[in-house]
Amino acid sequence: MIQFGLKQEQTLKLAMTPELRQAIQMLQYSSVELLSYLREQANDNPVIDLQETDLTIGIGSEPSAAQKDWKDYDDNRSGDGYAHSSTTQAFDLLAAMANPADTLYEHLKRQLGLVRGLTESEYRRALYLIGNLDEKGYLELDMKSDARLSGASPDEAEKMLALIQRFDPAGVAARSLEECLLLQLRRDGSGEGPIFRVVERHLGDLAANRLQKIADALGTGIQEVQRIADSIRRLNPRPGASFAGQERQSVIADITVEKIGGEYTVFVNETGAPRVSINAYYNRLLREQPNRDEACQYIHDRMAAASWLIKSLEQRRTTLLRVSRAVVEMQRDFFEHGIHGLKPLTQKEIAETTGLHESTISRAVGNKYMQTPRGLFELKYFFTSSLASADGDAASSESVKLRIKVMIDGEDKRKPLSDQAITELLTQEGLELSRRTVAKYREEMRILSSAKRKRF
């Protein structure tokens, strides 16, 4: 028979409070993300005072020039309806050169403005094509369909495209890799020789380094094909790429390591980090009106939230300092001797050293950067897997990658080292790796296979 009743029971359980969740969230933020989060908190909480230093966080992009194009066009037009440079002035070559802050669109538009004799419709057509180039500098429009939709004839569209393709950088506005390379070859005055046939018909064989097959098709020697291949590989397959990186955000180091008096000192980098404090006005208001009306209760709650935010910031700083000091101590050989001194290291080892939980270590090292005397490194860089050696010591995967790269750089390019040959050489040095691991490391470093590295 089922009996019903009431009884008391004590249990322990971990509750994730909003304050604890906030502290965990702040720990895993990078410096840029933390600044954005603090700004949000200051906007939501009037009690918080945020004093920011004057530091540019990233490289901003210029406003789009597309909205001003037609005004610029009208300003540069003459009375006869044509846009052109003044006939009383010589062509200014410097005006067509790229400015470091230019986008590809602005760079090409400046050159378009120097072209004489364009009608308004031709100018608009050329500007439209420039605006449809991707970040590599390629045009992905279907010219026939686009011409039909815009009311222009295919010949008019091709005429404007040919004009843009003569602009700097060479190869811009191409519709394929083949066309991009051919445009650069014609600009160099290479002539319609065998190199054109290789680009037009044998790019796949060239990528696979099947030079003998190309030589047989051309009816020439493999040495000549090697010379042609070297010339093609010097061309730029992404002519617009140099303009695409202008809007990238800069990296701010979270940790700074300096060698002072023979010892490595670790600092939490607070340059650019805002100072968070409680507004004195609300503090005074709460003291002068201690009664618990609704307004005072709101201020009290907001002050409690601000106090917890300040506490979480200090806890984040302390945790980063403890973790970074442990990393520097355990990777001292790296700071002294470079990558060859990089030791295998796991987050579990740092957790045991610092007394922190492994999940805390994972959050602390994520999206963080360390400025060291040897350069700027992501904090995760110092955590590498362990590879066994014949003498019982362990080597880090990064140091092994460097050794593989050194071997490949010093190989005989006529008889490049295969992955199996590299594996055997590493075994002779006391490093036990499989051929598959060597191949994986080589691919991670974006090094081609031995068949594609071979020279003739």
**Across residues 187-191, what is the average pLDDT?**
75
Query: What is d(CA 160, CA 252) in angstroms, rounded to the nearest whole number?
Result: 44
> Buried b vs exposed e over 320-348: b needs ≥16 C-beta within 10 Å?
bebbbbbbbeebeebbeeeeeebbbbebe
pLDDT bucket at 3, cuts 50 / 70 / 90: low
Residues in the chain: 456
Per-residue model confidence as pLDDT tens digits over 126-172? 888 898 898 899 998 877 766 665 667 778 888 889 999 999 999 99
Helix or strand run (H / E) with residue 296: helix 294-330
Q: For residue 96, is pLDDT > 70?
A: no
What are the residue ranges of helices labelled H in 410-449? 419-428, 435-444
**Half-sphere exposure of residue 230, counting CA atoms within 13 Å on the CB side?**
9
Percentage above 90 pLDDT, the chain: 24
pLDDT bucket at 5, cuts 50 / 70 / 90: low
Report which of residues 64 and 387 the model is more confident about: 387
Residue-averaged pLDDT of the chain: 80
Q: For residue 180, is pLDDT > 90?
A: yes
Per domain, the residue ranges of the chain are 77-164, 177-238, 255-274+302-382, 386-453
- Furthest-apart CA atoms within the chain: distance in Å: 110
pLDDT at 91: 41
Query: What is d(CA 412, CA 415) in angstroms, rounded to the nearest whole number?
Result: 5
- Residue type at 41 in one-letter notation: Q
Q: For residue 12, is pLDDT > 80?
A: no
Query: What is d(CA 174, CA 180) in angstroms, rounded to the nearest whole number?
Result: 5
Q: Are 155 and 147 in contact (CB under 8 A)?
A: no
pLDDT at 320: 93
- For 183, phi then psi, to 5°, come to -60, -40
Query: What is d(CA 192, CA 171) in angstroms, rounded to the nearest whole number?
Result: 17
Q: Degrees (nearest 5) of the Cα angle 181, 184, 186?
A: 110
Per-residue model confidence as pLDDT tens digits over 227-268? 999 999 999 999 998 886 544 556 778 899 999 988 999 998
What are the residue ranges of helices labelled H in 151-260? 154-164, 177-188, 194-201, 203-207, 211-218, 222-233, 241-244
Q: For residue 317, is pLDDT > 80?
A: yes
- What CATH class is the domain 386-453? mainly alpha
- For 49, phi then psi, to 5°, come to -105, 125
Q: For residue 361, is pLDDT > 60?
A: yes
pLDDT at 294: 74
What's the sign of the alpha-carbon dihedral 434, 402, 381, 341?
Answer: positive
